[in-house]
Amino acid sequence: MTAPVLELKNVAKTYRVKQGLFGKPKPLTAVNDVSLTLGRGEVLGLVGESGCGKSTLAKILLGLEAPTSGQVLVDGEEIAGQDRLALARRIQPIFQDPYSSLNPRKTIADIVSLPLRVHGIGDSASRAKSVRETLDLVGLPARVLNTYPSQMSGGQRQRVAIARALIMRPEIVICDEPTSALDVSVQSQILNLLNELREEFGLTYLFISHDLAVVEHLATRVAVMYLGRIVEEAPVAALFDAPRHPYARALLNSVLTPDPAQGVPDTQLGAAYPNPIAPPPGCHFHPRCPFAQDHCKAAAPRSVPVGQGHVKCHLHDPDTPMYRPDFTV
Ligand code: SF4
């Protein structure tokens, strides 16, 4: 890996959540002990079911939420306490729904130039030039400058959102389900565009998606998240060829779900996704895991290196009674 551009060290985020009118607030750990490293130009695909903590992690990286514990470093500098504007120059988001993330009352020129104006970069002539160049980069003609989001297609709007994210030339882009609101035919155009821009500018992406086909297409590495923890992390080819964690396997099997319109993978795991306020003891995945044993209910698995990645499962840990060195799921 090249020198890390983004590092997360034991990052956790806990909220106090009230259940019912008179219920006492209880802790909800949305992100739990997450450690990840991204090299420049890498694309880390972050996958998991709804509510697993992916979006909370994205908010922490964007400086919109502070972690309860742990560190986030960009180019070796901790982001805690950094000025939000300074951070926004280095990390920019692209969200799922371009329509709701673009101000409908502003023209495309206003929307794309906004980051430059907020950061006080250039005069109006240089900003206009920069907007035209960035629109060109994302494949939009200059004639859209004075149009409004409502006059554009979904794919064009997402190109505007990408232009707005890139006009500051950030190092890292957090892509939060950037194609899931688009038609399938438009999705591949946007994915190809993101890939081209990454190559041209050496961008680093954290690519959050429930769609494993999309992740396989774009990511260089994949992290699988379950109930706030990363349970497996590996290069994309290694994880798709031979997933080590039973949950990663279930997610991969869900790629061919017969109803893609559901928007989330059908993991066919039987038991429902657990309540994060009262997570199961030991390995949080044990109520849904076909390989669970008593030890899984008693002890939480630690992260162990396996192949080119890391896995949290007792079956891969030589220090547990369940260790099976030849285990594949
Ligand atoms: Fe399944 Fe046990 Fe591994 Fe958890 S630790 S994934 S319950 S086998």
CB 165 within 8 A of CB 133: no
pLDDT (mean) for 19-43: 89
Q: Does the residue 322 lie in any domain?
A: no
- Check residue 329 and give its pLDDT: 64
Query: How far does residue 54's CA lie from ligand 1's centre (Å)?
Result: 21
- Check residue 267 and give its pLDDT: 61
| CATH number, domain containing residue 310 | 3.40.50.300
- Check residue 273 and give its pLDDT: 79
* Cα–Cα separations (whole angstroms), residue 155 to 97, 142, 159, 287, 288: 10, 16, 6, 40, 38
- Check residue 235 and give its pLDDT: 96
Residue 263 pLDDT greater than 60, yes or no: no
Which residue's alpha carbon is nearest to atom 7 within ligand 1? 286
Lowest mean pLDDT among 175-184, 229-238, 270-279: 270-279
- Check residue 182 and give its pLDDT: 85
The DSSP annotation for 223-237 comes to: EEEETTEEEEEEEHH
Q: Does the residue 328 lie in any domain?
A: no
Please tell me which residue, 110 or 180, carries the higher pLDDT value.
Answer: 110
DSSP lists the bridge partners of residue 310 as: 233, 305
From 283, 297, 319, 329, give the residue whose CB has the most ligand 1 atoms within 8 Å, as the site to mutate: 283
Q: Does the residue 186 lie in any domain?
A: yes
pLDDT digits (tens, 9 = 90+) for 200-229: 999 999 999 888 888 998 999 999 999 999
pLDDT (mean) for 285-307: 95
Query: How far does residue 265's CA lie from ligand 1's centre (Å)?
Result: 20
From 247, 294, 314, give the residue whose CB has the most ligand 1 atoms within 8 Å, as the site to mutate: 314
Q: Count up the domains in the chain and report the number.
A: 1
Q: Measured between alpha carbons, how far is 282 from 189 in angstroms, rounded to an integer? A: 43
Query: How far does residue 321's CA lie from ligand 1's centre (Å)?
Result: 12
- Check residue 232 and give its pLDDT: 97
Q: Does the residue 323 lie in any domain?
A: no
- Check residue 20 and give its pLDDT: 74
Ligand 1 atom closest to the CA of 231, numbered from 1: 6
Scanning the structure block, which residue is given the tokens 């750990």?
29
What one-letter code names the amino acid at 148? Y
- Check residue 211 and give its pLDDT: 83
* Structural domain span for residue 231: 4-316
Write down the pTM of the prediction. 0.90
Q: Measured between alpha carbons, how far is 282 from 255 in angstroms, rounded to an integer? A: 28
- Check residue 152 and give its pLDDT: 94
- Check residue 258 and give its pLDDT: 44
Give the number of other Cβ atoms within 10 Å of residue 71's Cβ: 14
- pLDDT band per the 50, 70, 90 thresholds, residue 72: very high
Residues with CB under 6 A from ligand 1: 245-246, 283, 285-286, 289, 291-292, 296, 301, 313-315
Residue 180 pLDDT greater than 90, yes or no: no
Ligand 1 atom closest to the CA of 301, numbered from 1: 5
Query: How far does residue 201's CA lie from ligand 1's centre (Å)?
Result: 41
- Check residue 266 and give its pLDDT: 59
- Check residue 260 and give its pLDDT: 45
pLDDT (mean) for 4-11: 95
Residue 83 pLDDT greater than 90, yes or no: no
CB 16 within 8 A of CB 26: yes
Q: Does the residue 76 lie in any domain?
A: yes
Query: How far does residue 103's CA lie from ligand 1's centre (Å)?
Result: 46
Give the number of other Cβ atoms within 10 Å of residue 260's Cβ: 14
- pLDDT band per the 50, 70, 90 thresholds, residue 265: low
- Check residue 207 and give its pLDDT: 95
Q: Measured between alpha carbons, how far is 95 from 161 in angstroms, rounded to an integer? A: 8
- pLDDT band per the 50, 70, 90 thresholds, residue 275: confident
Ligand 1 atom closest to the CA of 247, numbered from 1: 6
pLDDT (mean) for 175-204: 91
From 251, 315, 324, 329, give the residue whose CB has the most ligand 1 atoms within 8 Å, as the site to mutate: 315
Residue 268 pLDDT greater than 80, yes or no: no
Provide the percentage of residues in the chain whose pLDDT is more than 90: 71
- pLDDT band per the 50, 70, 90 thresholds, residue 189: very high
Q: Does the residue 325 lie in any domain?
A: no
pLDDT digits (tens, 9 = 90+) for 104-154: 999 999 999 999 999 999 999 999 999 999 999 999 999 999 999 999 999
Burial class (CB in 10 A: 0-12, 13-18, 19+), 36: buried
Q: Does the residue 302 lie in any domain?
A: yes
Which residue's alpha carbon is nearest to atom 3 within ligand 1? 313
Q: Does the residue 321 lie in any domain?
A: no
Ligand 1 atom closest to the CA of 293, numbered from 1: 2
Ligand 1 atom closest to the CA of 296, numbered from 1: 2
- Check residue 121 and give its pLDDT: 93
